[in-house]
Structure formats: C-alpha cells, structure tokens
Amino acid sequence: MQHTKQEVIKALLPAFTVPNKNEGSGFAPTNIALCKYWGKRDIELNLPFTSSLSISLGNYGATTKVSFADSSIDQVKLNNQTIATNTVFYRRIVEFLDLIRPTNDAVFNVVTHTNIPIAAGLASSACGFAALVQALADLFEWPLTSQQLSILARLGSGSACRSLWHGFVQWQAGSDLMGMDSYAYPLDEYQWPELRVGLVLIDQSQKSFSSRDAMQASVESSPFYALWPATVAQALDRTHTALRTKDFWTLGSVAEANALAMHAIMLSTTPAIIYSQAATLSCMQQVWRARAEGLSIFFTQDAGPNLKLLFLSKDEAKVRELFAEIQVVAPFSYVPQPVESI
Ligand code: PMV
C-alpha cells in the first residue's frame, strides 16, 4: 500500500504543539556518498532500493533559522537573497513546511546560509533539508530521536537523512512500507582524521536535470539498473572492511568504482543522462595518471560535473600541486558553526 508523507508525519508527531520559542536554528554538514543512493522504491517517501554510506564535510554545510512571519506567504532567504515563489527551490521548501504547519494561517520565515555551491552535485539539498529539520525541531521542541529526525529529513530529500551527523554515516534502506526503518545513523566506530576530501569545482552553474528525475529515469529505463542493488551491497561490504582496517586504497577504489557504476547506469538510461563535462573527464584522467605514478588518490562524482577527490593528509601538498584550484576539506576536524551569527 502506498503511504503519504502526511501519514508519516502523523505517526511521528501525533500532536502539534504551539512553540514556546520565537525562533529555531540548526546547522547540518553536507555529505558525499562513498556508496551511492540511486533509485527509489517509493518516490513519494524517498525510500531507496539500497543502503548507502557517506562522509560528512565538516564545516561545509547549511545554517538555517526558522521563525513565524507576519506576511501572507512563507518567506525563504538563501545567502541573503529572497527566493522567488515560482522557483523549484521555493516550492520544495514550502511543500515541506506544509507538512508541519501547525495551523493553516501559520507562515514561516526561513533564512539559510550555505558555504557550498547550490545544485552543482555538492549535495546542497542534503544539508539544506537536514538544517531545516534541525531548525524546526529546535523551534517546536519536538521530542524526537535523531533517527526520527533523519526520517523527517529524508522526506525533504533522500540524502538529507545522512546529513544530521559528522563523520561516516550509513543510511539503511529498510523494508517498511511507511519507511519507519529507513533512516541514517553515524558510524562512530570509524574515525579517520587523516582523510581528506578535495572539491574540484568544474562548473558551479545549476544542473539541468535534477537527481530526483535522473534516478527515476534510470530505474525505469536503464537495462543495468537490475545490477545496482548487488553492486551497492558488495561496495558497502568492502567499504566497511576498508574502514575497519583503515585500508585507504580499498576505500578509494571502491568509492570510485561505485560512482562510475552509477554514472554507467545513467549513460544507459533512455534518454542518456551525462553530467560529466570535458573538464570532468580530463580531471579523472589526471587522477588516474597520478595514481599510476604511485599517489593514493581517487575520485567520486555525484549528479553534477564536479569531482570530489579522496586522499590522505600526508599527500595533501602533492595533491594541491597537481590540482591548483582544489578546496580541501578535513572531514574530522570541524569546529561547531556559530549559528547565532547568521
Ligand atoms: O537526495 P538526492 O535526491 O539529492 O539524491 C542524491 C543522489 C546522489 O548524490 C547522486 C547520491 C547520494 O547518495 O548522495
């Protein structure tokens, strides 16, 4: 039976309370999947066919404040700009707010600051919805566990359910039709302070095809989609072993192969989906050349042309020499964001 988002909200928040506070706030890091989520078993609830595993990007993410507004419609501001009501961005936020609006005439003011490029395959919707859920939970003082908040964030955007924690995070696919067992949890047993993620920004413009539409098209028409669940299951297994034994070569090769397998599925979708640009391919070749010369460096790619490089701190100087424009993130050395300053 098909369930609705409203039913999930009702199960999690049976009674809406009037907040005692005027404002709620939250920060969520963005996350990069090492074993990707690609394809939904339930489109409405963002329930995936497979589990996935990510690394959060420390201080790169979204900081959001939510309060009640005096205006007649919700106000959404992103990086000091008011978002027009006819944009997909605005509609997605308002659709989410509709789910938790305590009364029909309650109107919200949402102010978000991000320090990552929007919609360029850097998982901005992930940290955006996770920060919004944290801010709403703070405003309404919801008595929810972090797993339940992860379910709420998933309703906004699948990968957002992984953005509630730092470090390595796993989203278990679950099998419940209402998705009550489809949430993420932190893999705190795996700490890897030497791990670095390098962001290679190839193109910061908005992507033409959303990951939401692209993954659905893949499920419906790629002849290789049937191979995806077993591919991810094996990648997850090998990633856990690599994390447990701190085997960086295995971690990187599995992540790179998993990203390429996801893009192979897109390539075999009708019509074909290609996020890579010429510069994406030459960057991949540069990574392969560096590896052939002995450098432990790998890449992963999401629904956009940008690449994220994986390497260890001991090789940072060498990587910076090879990739001049790179932004380097140390996922395990984040400092809490000053939410009050936005
Ligand atoms: O959560 P969405 O709908 O933005 O999809 C994210 C899809 C990928 O970034 C390509 C993979 C992932 O697991 O994050």
Give the pair of three-digit tokens for residue 312.
């260890």
Q: Ligand 1 pocket: which of 31, 125, 211, 308 to mutate (most atoms <8 Å of CB)?
A: 211
Q: How far is the CA of 52 from the centre of ligand 1 (A)?
A: 10
pLDDT digits (tens, 9 = 90+) for 152-191: 999 999 999 999 999 999 999 999 999 999 999 999 999 9
Which tens digits make up the pLDDT trace of 200-215?
988 877 667 889 999 9
**CB of 304 shorter than 6 A to ligand 1:** no
E strands present in the chain: 23-35, 40-42, 47-48, 52-68, 75-78, 81-82, 108-114, 168-171, 184-186, 195-200, 298-301, 307-312, 327-329
Centre of ligand 1 from the C-alpha of residue 2, in Å? 22
Query: Is the CB of residue 302 below 6 angstroms from any atom belonging to ligand 1?
Result: yes
Q: How far is the CA of 160 from the centre of ligand 1 (A)?
A: 9
Q: Is residue 317 helix, strand or coil? A: helix
Q: What is the pTM of this model?
A: 0.95
Task: Say yes or no to pLDDT of 342 above 50.
Answer: no
Strand partners, 81: 78
Residue-wise pLDDT for 57-112, tens only, equals 999 899 999 999 999 999 999 999 999 999 989 999 999 999 999 888 899 999 99
Our answer on whether the CB atom of 120 is closer than 6 Å to any ligand 1 atom is no
Gap from CA of 70 to ligand 1 centroid (Å): 35
Task: Give the bridge partners for 42, in sequence order.
Answer: 47
